[in-house]
């Protein structure tokens, strides 16, 4: 994670609203009018590369849905939370307009977050993910076996419901529910977390972010249904013998944030971290 000042010359933005949230749909026209009064153009989602910023109305899922495009285009994202937790979002809906004013005046910063680059069979191009890449069993599978190696060195076999490869940003998502550690976004590392492991010796592994992790599916049953899921949104089928490679992507996601709010403050507020 690195912080840098956000430029105040904002001339155009893309609004990405969660269509399943009433508050997001209702707030969108008001936001458009507010931006128009500020002489800021609203571009369609197809023009992200030409925008100075992206404003999301929703929760973490809305940011995850646009993160690959935003990272590839190098366009910063400002998330408005109209959901529940909103761990990745910049501000709650009730404070959004003063926060947007601060953004336009250059008072906010860009928080750069590591992304994953995932390569798998039958997927034409490498895929980007912000939180995690997950190999998991489907509805009819009992367990699956995943053989892991880092930089061609054997790590071992993971037998259970699958494995999670997470970034520091993703350490507070699915990996956390699978008993993985919490990593500060400033840590240059990735983690491999087993899901419902069938052995007490299978524990999460943290490794340097510059190293490549290879995961090979080794299921003896031909009808085993196993999936590769990226950020909980994009799902691909895997077959026994398939190898999935995961590494740190060159692109990073730029999240607009308040420099006065620390990461640990967000942990305490959103997850009741350290509470009794």
Q: Which residues are part of the catalytic machinery?
A: 60
Cβ neighbours of 202 (radius 10 Å): 18
φ, ψ for residue 154 (rounded to 5)?
-60, 135
* CA–CA dist 138, 11 (Å, integer): 46
Residue 128 is encoded by which pair of tokens? 């980007």
b/e map 206-245, b = 16+ CB within 10 Å: bbeeeebbbbbbebeeeebbbbbbbbbebebebebebebe
φ, ψ for residue 240 (rounded to 5)?
-55, 135
Place of tokens 């599916």: 217
Strand 189-195 to 205-208 pairing: antiparallel
* CA–CA dist 48, 71 (Å, integer): 10
* CA–CA dist 230, 207 (Å, integer): 20
Give me the residues paired with residue 207 across strands: 190
Cβ neighbours of 134 (radius 10 Å): 25
* CA–CA dist 191, 173 (Å, integer): 12
In the chain, alpha helices (H): 22-37, 60-73, 96-104, 174-177, 263-271
């Amino acid at each position: 994670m690195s912080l840098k000042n956000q430029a105040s010359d904002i001339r155009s933005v893309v609004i990405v609203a969660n269509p399943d949230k009433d508050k997001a749909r209702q707030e969108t026209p008001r936001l458009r009018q507010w931006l128009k009064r500020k002489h800021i153009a609203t571009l369609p989602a197809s023009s992200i590369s030409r925008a100075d910023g992206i404003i999301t109305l929703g929760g973490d899922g809305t940011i995850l849905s646009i993160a690959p495009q935003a990272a590839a285009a190098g366009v910063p994202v400002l998330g408005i939370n109209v959901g529940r937790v909103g761990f990745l979002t910049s501000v709650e809906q009730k404070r959004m307009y003063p926060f947007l004013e601060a953004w336009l005046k250059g008072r906010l910063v860009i928080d750069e977050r590591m992304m994953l680059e995932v390569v798998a069979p039958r997927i034409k191009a490498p895929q980007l993910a912000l939180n995690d890449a997950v190999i998991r069993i489907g509805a009819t599978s009992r367990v699956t076996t995943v053989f892991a190696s880092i930089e061609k060195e054997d790590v071992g076999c993971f037998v259970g419901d699958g494995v999670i490869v997470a970034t520091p940003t993703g350490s507070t998502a699915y990996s956390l529910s699978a008993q993985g550690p919490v990593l500060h976004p400033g840590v240059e590392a990735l983690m491999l977390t087993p899901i419902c492991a069938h052995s007490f010796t299978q524990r999460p592994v943290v490794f340097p972010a510059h190293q490549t992790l290879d995961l090979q599916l080794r299921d003896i049953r031909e009808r085993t249904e196993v999936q590769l899921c990226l950020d909980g949104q994009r799902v691909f089928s895997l077959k026994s013998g398939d190898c999935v490679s995961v590494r740190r992507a060159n692109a990073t996601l730029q999240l607009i944030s308040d420099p006065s709010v620390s990461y640990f403050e967000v942990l305490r507020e959103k997850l009741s971290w350290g509470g009794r």
